[in-house]
Amino acid sequence: MEPGGLLGTLALMGMAGYLHTVSGFGLGMIVMGTAGGLGMASVPVLAAVVSLVTLVNSAIALPGGWRGLGAHRVMALTVGIVPSIMVGVWLLSWLSATFTVLLTLLLGALVLYGGISIGLHPRPHLTESPSWTFAVSGVLTGLCGGLFGVPGPPVIYHCYRQPLPLETIRLLLILCFAITSGVRTLYVASQGGLTGDVWQLALWSMPVVGVATWLGRRYPPPCSAGVMRRLAMLTLIGLGAVILLKGLFLLASG
Report the candidate in 213, 205, 155, 208 with the shortest Cα–Cα distance to residue 179.
155
pLDDT tens column, 135-151: 999 998 898 888 887 77
CB atoms within 10 A of CB 105: 18
Is the pLDDT assigned to residue 66 strictly greater than 80?
no
31 vs 211, higher pLDDT: 211
- In this prediction, residue 44 has a pLDDT band, given cuts at 50, 70 and 90, of confident
Q: Please, are residues 29 and 40 in contact by the beta-carbon 8 Å criterion?
A: no
137 touches 105 (CB < 8 A): no
DSSP 170-234: HHHHHHHHHHHHHHHHHHHHHTT---HHHHHHHHHHHHHHHHHHHHHHHS--SS-HHHHHHHHHH
Q: Is the pLDDT of residue 132 over 90?
A: yes
- The residue among 88 and 113 whose pLDDT is bigger is 88
Q: Give the three-state DSSP class for 82.
A: helix
Amino acid, res. 179: I
Work out the number of other CB atoms within 10 angstroms of the CB of residue 113: 19
**Residue 24: pLDDT over 80:** no
| 8 A C-beta contact, residue 65 and residue 171 | yes
pLDDT, tens digit, 9 for 90 and up, residues 174-207: 888 888 889 999 999 998 889 998 999 999 988 9
Range with the poorest average pLDDT among 61-65, 72-76, 98-102, 233-237? 61-65
pTM assigned to the model: 0.79
pLDDT tens sequence across 82-109: 999 999 999 988 888 778 888 888 888 8
